[in-house]
Amino acid sequence: MEDTRKLNASQLGTKKYWDEFYALERDNFSKNPEDTGECWFDDNGAEERMVEFLVENIGQEKIDLGTKVIDLGTGNGHLLFELYENEFAGPMLGVDYSEESVEFAREISKSNGCDDKIKFAVADIFAPDWNPGLFDLVLDKGTLDAIALCEKTLPDGRRMVDGYSKVVEKLLDQGGIFLITSCNFTEDELISIVETNRLKVWKTIEYPVYEFGGVKGTTICSVAFIKQ
C-alpha cells in the first residue's frame, strides 16, 4: 500500500527558498514597518485557533501564562508575538534554519519592544549536538509540512520527517504539550507521523468540515500531543 504520508520534494523544502523568501520580506519591512510578512494558514484562521486553544487550556497540564515555549520553524515569529499579545509571559524561543528568517523575526521583535521577552536563534533541529533545553510547550505551524517536502535524508537514510517526533521528544519536558498544525497531512496521517510510545494525542482543534464527491474533510488540522 502506498504511503500517503510521503510527499514529493519541492523547493519549499529547501533552505535556499526560505532564505530568499525572508530576505524579500525583510526588504519589504525595511520600507514599510507595518508589513510584518506572511502569516501562514491565515485563510484558515489557524494561528488564531492555536492561540485560542492554548488560552482555553490554561491551567491544564503545563499550559499557563509562564509556560516555557519553543516555536520550531518560527519564520517571522508571528505565532510567538500573538502569544505575547495574549499575556503569555514565560521564556519564548523561536528557531529556524534560515538566517534571514531569524534576523527578520528579531527586527520585528525589536520594533514591537519585546526583544527582551522573545528570543530567536538559527538552529538545525536535527543536529545531534543541538540541545536548547527542555520546554513546557513546543509549537509547529507548517514546519513539518516543509520538512516533508525536503529531499535530504537523515544519516541513517530515513526521511527527515520520520525523525521529527524524536526531535520533539528531546525538547519536551515530562507532561509537556506539542501543538502542531498541518495543511499537507490529514489528522490521521499527522498522528501516525508524530505519535510514539511517549508522545500521545491529547486534544485536537476543530475546523470547518467540507464535503466533496461524498468525501468529508478539512483543509487543515491541528493536534496537541502530550509527553508521557
Q: What is the pLDDT of residue 86?
A: 97
CB of 100 within 8 A of CB of 26?
Answer: yes
List the chain domain ranges.
11-227
The pTM of the full predicted model, rounded to 2 decimals, is 0.89
Q: What is the pLDDT of residue 208?
A: 81
Cα separation, 162 vs 173, in Å, equals 21
Q: How many CB atoms lie within 10 A of CB 135?
A: 24
Share of the chain above pLDDT 70, in %: 88
Strands 135-141 and 210-212: unpaired
Which uninterrupted H or E stretch holds 174? strand 172-182
Higher pLDDT, 101 or 42: 101
| pLDDT tens digits for range 161-209 | 999 999 999 999 999 999 999 988 999 999 999 999 999 999 999 988 7
Residue 101 in this model has a pLDDT that exceeds 90: yes
Q: What is the pLDDT of residue 155?
A: 87
What average pLDDT score do residues 46-70 get? 96
Q: Confidence band (pLDDT; 50, 70, 90) for 40? A: low
Alpha helix (H) ranges present in 90-225? 99-112, 143-148, 164-171, 187-194
Under CATH, what is the fold of the domain 11-227?
Rossmann fold (3.40.50)
